[in-house]
Amino acid sequence: MQGAANDFVVVDGRELTDVDWASVAVRACNRRLGVGADGILVLEPSQAEDFRMRYHNADGSPSEMCGNGIRCMAKFALDIGATDQRRLTWETGAGRIATEVLEYGDGPARVRVDMGPPHFAPAEIPVMLRGNDVRETPFAVNGSQLSLTCLSMGNPHAVTFVDSVEAFPLESIGPEVEHHPSFPHRTNFEIAEVIDPGHVRMRVWERGVGETQACGTGACAVAVAAQLVREADAEVEIQLPGGRLTVAWSPGRNVLMTGPAETSFTGEFAD
């Protein structure tokens, strides 16, 4: 499945036990020797919510949350008959997440996700800095200075604003930021270009994956950061290489993200 070209291997794991999903992710997500994907999503039962979403990046590392992925999971649960409800709650590594399938039919679904509130305290991101938050803070990266705004959307993000996302050397700077010693759990890294108060263009280097076509939690982080330090609107359209997402947020409220979810194909993976 894919959401704004952020692609996933999606598995019904409700009756599967004793599976090493990290190793399955490494093999299945290999784009030459496996299926090929940015990560693997596993639908699992939950004692507290409607379902549990397990997510592993392409390198096998677990991630607390995936915004594009959970939209795909909401469609997947309907597709396989696991539910007939368009409103679902999910147990994730980032806590309880709610989804609503707004459009559902033969083509792509359109899904809104209540992503919960952003977190700004350094210990909650986490980033090893003092203070109440991290806004446009200088970081030494590969011999140069980057101005980063850091927050958590259930997983860590570092955002920098640039004049041109196309000209930025993300392939060389991305891994340096991901593995910067200030981020004990590594971080996702977004570069953003504000077109106007309601439109932002971005690219993303995802922790454990590399550059991807889209990142839902990253788009949310960019929208929040743009409002905090670039006077963007409370609702913005985020343009990513793989598509567009709409993100709405006001201080003290939860972040709402709306975007597509589409099935590419179904099949069996020999394990």
Q: What is the pLDDT of residue 271?
A: 66
Does residue 8 come out as left (phi exceeding 0), alpha (psi in the -120 to 50 range) or beta? Answer: beta
Quick one: which of 175, 174, 147, 171 has its CA closest to 161? 147
Q: What is the pLDDT of residue 217?
A: 95
Q: What is the pLDDT of residue 252?
A: 94
pTM for the whole structure? 0.93
Averages of pLDDT over runs of 10 residues in the chain (271 residues) are 97 95 97 96 97 97 95 98 98 96 96 97 97 96 93 97 96 97 97 98 96 96 98 97 97 97 93 66
Q: How far is it, in rounded angstroms, from Cα 44 to Cα 53?
A: 6
Domains contained in the chain, CATH given? 2-115 (3.10.310.10), 122-258 (3.10.310.10)
CB-based contact 48:91 (threshold 8 Å) = yes
| CA R_g for the chain | 18
Does residue 116 come out as left (phi exceeding 0), alpha (psi in the -120 to 50 range) or beta? Answer: left
Active site residues: 66, 215
> Other C-beta atoms within 10 Å of 80: how many?
13
Q: What is the pLDDT of residue 9?
A: 98
Residue 130 is inside which H or E element, if any? Answer: none
Q: What is the pLDDT of residue 143?
A: 85
